[in-house]
Amino acid sequence: MQKKWWKESVVYQIYPRSFKDTNEDGVGDLKGIIENLDYVKFLGANVIWLCPIYKSPNDDNGYDISDYRDIMNEFGSMDDFNELLKEAHKRDLKILMDLVVNHTSDEHRWFVESRKSKNNEYRDYYIWKDSKNGKEPNNWGGSFAGSAWEYDKNTDMYYLHCFSKKQPDLNWENPKVRKEVEDIVMFWLDKGIDGFRMDVINMISKDQTFPDGVKAEGSLYGDKDSVIMNGPRVHEYISELNAKVLSKYDIMTVGETPLVTPKIAMKYVGEDRKELNMVFEFEHMDIDRDESSFIKKPFDLVKLKNIFTKWQKGLENGGWNSLYWNNHDQPRVVSRFGDDGSYWDKSAKMLGTCLHMQQGTPYIYQGEEIGMTNVSFEDIKDYRDIGAINHYKEEVEIKGKNKDDFMNYLHELSRDNARTPMQWSGSENAGFTKPGVEPWIKINPRYKEINVENQINDPNSIFNYYRKLIKIRKENEIVVYGRYDLILEDDKEIYAYTRTLDDKKLLVICNFTKNEPMFCMPEDIKYASFKTVIGNYNMDDGEIKNIKLKPYECKVYILQ
């Protein structure tokens, strides 16, 4: 297996809007990130992924870019960015930027031009279509409710927007668009950044016949995603970008790719493919929800184990996994797959262990390292996510879905669960912004109990447990490169696996329940001695062949 710095890295994801506000406008900013670089360094991560910081009208919190070469007013200036990059590099922290090039903002200069007339030189930068039988060009629904097409009366045509109507999709069939993207990527790489996370990068190539999507029962629109993802020319486009730009720099790339299996993913990340280093898959994030009918499904550990195992084995020869529980689009994992009540501390540590001991590059989303939890806003007015707001209108107000059911769905799965401000302290506004200032989104009421100040000096905190996990990875090659194998496959309560490198084995045991199940060592695991690596309870075991696990207990051993 090829050794690479990005395989040995741990990434810390920052959602700048909610990280730290220094200029008292209730919105986080670049200076707030600079102030806290030492915090990230102390945690032990060595790469920071910044969610979009470019100029944007913020219809989708920066995922709608109006100028790729400028900084969002609320976040600061290019000088601030230059300082951030310099200060990060001084500390050996690398910076990954978010590259959002499936779409732009409708306020981007290209789109402003494009919509002016059918023969404008920017017309073909976007996807314009005539109406079909007096209606939209096809039945696709947008990801944030409504149709994926918007009628523009100026030229009597529709444009495609897979997300909000303020996020028109770029037309990658046009070589000029591809050249613009290359120039943008080069602009940032020449500044010295260390790589990109590429937003929905497997959506950029659309089937030019624009076929209807399958319409699920009760749905107003057809499913565009199964048609759009991994389109006909996607590999050609990514290879081209790699050959012309990415390959010229020593960087890290990770593509966000909904609807991929390990087999499809290998086409993006296979070492011989020269496309990307990693992708973010969604299979393990989709096990407890039905996104088309807004239903939360029960958590099923056996399913989760199968999915992770499929990915670990599927990418072990010539690919590489990204490991994540959380990001700005997902609810908080301790509330989702753990227990944010009595076993908050234990389950947060167990979940961290289960993920960080796998093969791949771990991503920690701000606040995960202190066990931040979901939030239940009672009023839809407190939600800020355009997806939550638009779907509420469509489901509750138009289709008549029960309001409480929909609110419960948001409480469990809304993206805003991840977006409440970082909890730095127990003082008013959680130390995110000055007391008296109104944050752009409400603070999670649990900030008094769950915050950095409480945890940073407590050796038994979740924060210090995450520090240990990172340190163990840095000091043990087996955690980075060891081969993964699932054991006790059918156990409904315990997730256990081994990692093997040369004559050593790492044994990872995680109890995903409040119960006290027995772990019984499989016969074929042979060892002469064992050494404790980490655990979330006392670890003075006499023998480890049969262990009665405590609620949400995890244990890691080196066997030799």
Catalytically active residues, by annotation: 199, 256
SS3 487: strand
Return the beta strands (E) in 218-365 as ranges. Answer: 252-256, 278-280, 289-290, 295-296, 322-323, 361-365
Identify the residue among 39, 49, 54, 63 touching ligand NOJ (CB under 6 A). 63
Which of 58, 312 has the CB closer to ligand NOJ? 58
Strand partners, 484: 499
Q: Is 329 in the site for ligand NOJ (CB under 6 A)?
A: yes
For residue 282, the Cα-to-chain-centroid distance in whole angstroms is 9
**DSSP 8-state secondary structure symbol assigned to residue 217:** T
Instruction: Count CB atoms within 10 A of the CB of residue 448.
Output: 14
Which of 364, 559 has the CB closer to ligand NOJ? 364
Position of minimal CB gap to ligand NOJ: 63
Amino acid at 490: D
Which of 104, 335 has the CB closer to ligand NOJ? 104
Determine phi and psi for 197, rounding to 5 degrees: -100, 125
**With the C-alpha atoms ordered 306, 312, 317, 318, is the resulting torsion angle positive or negative?**
positive
Q: Is 106 in the site for ligand NOJ (CB under 6 A)?
A: no
Which residues ranging from 363 to 402 are in contact with ligand NOJ (CB under 6 A)? none
Please report, to the nearest 10 degrees, the dihedral formed by the alpha carbons of residues 485, 489, 493, 494 taken in order: -20
Identify the residue among 21, 29, 59, 60 touching ligand NOJ (CB under 6 A). 60
Q: Name which of 81, 289, 115, 287 is nearest 187 in CA terms.
A: 81
Minimum CB distance to ligand NOJ, residue 546 (Å): 44
Which of 58, 433 has the CB closer to ligand NOJ? 58
Which of 326, 347 has the CB closer to ligand NOJ? 326
At residue 108's C-alpha, the angle toward residues 103 and 112, to 5°, is 110
Total interface residues for ligand NOJ by CB under 6 A: 9
- Give me 248's structure tokens: 């010229």
Q: Name which of 521, 551, 506, 496 is nearest 305 in CA terms.
A: 496
Minimum CB distance to ligand NOJ, residue 156 (Å): 28
Minimum CB distance to ligand NOJ, residue 98 (Å): 8
**With the C-alpha atoms ordered 542, 545, 549, 555, is the resulting torsion angle positive or negative?**
positive
Which residues ranging from 205 to 264 are in contact with ligand NOJ (CB under 6 A)? 256
Which of 11, 301 has the CB closer to ligand NOJ? 11
Burial 364-385 (b: 16+ CB within 10 A, else e): bbbbbbbbbbbbbbeebeebbb
Identify the residue among 33, 45, 200, 549 touching ligand NOJ (CB under 6 A). 200
Q: Please tell me the distance from the alpha carbon of residue 259 to that of residue 161, in angstroms, as a whole number.
A: 19
Which of 375, 507 has the CB closer to ligand NOJ? 375
Taking residues 428 to 467 in sequence order and writing x for each that binds ligand NOJ by CB under 6 A, - otherwise, the string is: ----------------------------------------
Minimum CB distance to ligand NOJ, residue 61 (Å): 7
Angle between helices 175-191 and 234-244 (to 10 degrees): 40
Which of 333, 534 has the CB closer to ligand NOJ? 333
Please report, to the nearest 10 degrees, the dihedral formed by the alpha carbons of residues 175, 177, 179, 183 taken in order: 180
Minimum CB distance to ligand NOJ, residue 313 (Å): 27
Strand partners, 557: 507, 532
Q: Name which of 61, 67, 51, 60 is nearest 16 in CA terms.
A: 51
Minimum CB distance to ligand NOJ, residue 106 (Å): 13
Q: Name which of 208, 274, 185, 271 is nearest 235 in CA terms.
A: 274
Taking residues 74 to 103 in sequence order and writing x for each that binds ligand NOJ by CB under 6 A, - otherwise, the string is: --------------------------x---
Identify the residue among 59, 74, 199, 288 touching ligand NOJ (CB under 6 A). 199
Q: Please tell me the distance from the alpha carbon of residue 307 to that of residue 315, in angstroms, as a whole number.
A: 12
Which of 60, 223 has the CB closer to ligand NOJ? 60
For residue 497, the Cα-to-chain-centroid distance in whole angstroms is 24
Q: Quick check: 201 and 228 in contact, CB under 8 A?
A: no
Minimum CB distance to ligand NOJ, residue 63 (Å): 3
Amino acid at 119: N
Taking residues 154 to 173 in sequence order and writing x for each that binds ligand NOJ by CB under 6 A, - otherwise, the string is: ---------x----------
Distant-in-sequence, close-in-space partners of 345: CB < 8 Å, separation ≥ 6: 371, 462, 536
Q: Name which of 246, 286, 248 is nearest 269 in CA terms.
A: 246
Minimum CB distance to ligand NOJ, residue 162 (Å): 8
Minimum CB distance to ligand NOJ, residue 327 (Å): 7
Q: Is 413 in the site for ligand NOJ (CB under 6 A)?
A: no
Minimum CB distance to ligand NOJ, residue 51 (Å): 8
Where does this chain bind ligand NOJ (CB under 6 A)?
60, 63, 100, 163, 199-200, 256, 328-329
